[in-house]
Amino acid sequence: MTDPLPIRLRVATTDPEVANDRLRQTYAGAEIRTTRDDPAFAYRQDVDGDDELTLGRFHFGGRGRVNLVLEDTLTVVRRRTGIHRWEVDGRRGTGLMVFQPHEGYRAELELLEVDALNLHLSALRNTARTVHGDQRLEVAFDHPRPVSPAHAKYWADTYEFVHGSLTDPAVAAVPLLRADLLRRISVATLETFSLSGDPMTRRSSVAARQTAHRRAVEFMHASLSLPITIEDVARHVGLSTVELTRVFQSRTGMTPAEHLRGLRLAAAHRDLVRGAPADGVTVRAIALRWGFPHAGDFARRHRHVYGENPARTLHG
């Protein structure tokens, strides 16, 4: 699979034709309509992201209207300053809002600056299916508005974190970090706006997964020195290994095997720090004690997490 390529678009103009052309780089078919020869008109856009996730900051000087219809992208818009009166398929508002593929979005603009999150529908769908444990779930929201002011604030806080990270070129250049940011903002969006379907069923499913994850982690900690397997953990919480993997991926983004390996690596590191080579303690013995049979693999994992070879830790 090819990693999505980073996107960075920057423009500032007082020409409405140039503004329309640049806006269409992000939203095909978008149209800005302004008062003829408006001397106050100005447009600026800063867009960062990739094919699955882009974050845009758009500034509109003067007065006008914008119209657009999405295709395979879902967009969340947050007003920063100015007046943003929006309409989505006949429903109107002024605050945080989401609009979906094939919905018509129209807005009045007046000295307006907005943040816009664009999520490719397939990426959001994948996250939703993992979070809710339903591989047939299709993402559709009941209403453009968030479910509560508290959820709107949660989404805004998450957006600020993701925006601050993704606009750092060093972060944007790393596919793994972009993937983590995509998951964070996807989960925030799924929680902030009301999904179509049976919310009670989804809430009970999420609560059950939270309980299963907590019990699995507690069991791992309590049995860490024992030769437990992921099958043992799954049996303890009453799930299949496939279901357990989905629980961990929805909660942490990693598999239960990766989580258990991380706990054992931390335990091995503690033993290395406390160990006394003069008493016959060896890296090999510690690695085997915690389930790492291959010396090279153990050393690589230890270096990746702790920044040094295990032998240096033991003899340090």
**pLDDT tens-digit profile of 75-119?**
999 999 998 999 998 899 999 999 999 888 999 888 899 999 999
Span 191-215, mean pLDDT? 76
Which one has a higher pLDDT value, 36 or 203?
A: 36
Question: Cα–chain-centroid distance for residue 68?
Answer: 25
pLDDT of residue 8: 84
Span 53-81, mean pLDDT? 92
Spell out the domain ranges in the chain: 1-197, 198-244, 258-315
Residue 43 structure tokens = 């447009």
Per-residue confidence at 259, pLDDT binned at 50, 70, 90? very high
Given a cut of 80, whether residue 70 has pLDDT beyond it is yes
Task: Give tens-digit pLDDT for 109-168.
Answer: 888 999 999 999 999 998 888 777 677 888 999 899 998 998 899 999 999 999 988 888
CA distances from 188 to 8, 140, 157 (A): 23, 15, 10
pLDDT of residue 137: 83
Lowest mean pLDDT among 169-178, 221-230, 301-310: 169-178
pLDDT of residue 203: 56
Given a cut of 60, whether residue 66 has pLDDT beyond it is yes
Given a cut of 90, whether residue 50 has pLDDT beyond it is no
Per-residue confidence at 304, pLDDT binned at 50, 70, 90? very high
Q: How far apart are CA 212 and CA 228, in angstroms?
A: 17
pLDDT of residue 267: 94
Among residues of the chain, what percentage have pLDDT more than 90?
Answer: 50
Span 4-27, mean pLDDT? 86
Per-residue confidence at 207, pLDDT binned at 50, 70, 90? confident
Architecture of domain 258-315 in this structure: Orthogonal Bundle (1.10)
54: enclosing H helix or E strand: strand 53-69
Q: How far apart are CA 270 and CA 17, in angstroms?
A: 63
Span 203-232, mean pLDDT? 85
pLDDT of residue 2: 47
Q: Are 67 and 33 in contact (CB under 8 A)?
A: yes
Which one has a higher pLDDT value, 201 or 143?
A: 143
DSSP string, 215-265: HHHHHHHHTTTS---HHHHHHHHT--HHHHHHHHHHHHSS-HHHHHHHHHH
Q: Cα angle vertex 114, ends 20, 151, to 5°?
A: 140
Q: What does pLDDT average to over the chain? A: 88
Q: Give domain 1-197's CATH superfamily.
A: Jelly Rolls (2.60.120.10)
pLDDT of residue 1: 41
Which one has a higher pLDDT value, 128 or 42?
A: 42
Among residues of the chain, what percentage have pLDDT more than 70?
Answer: 95
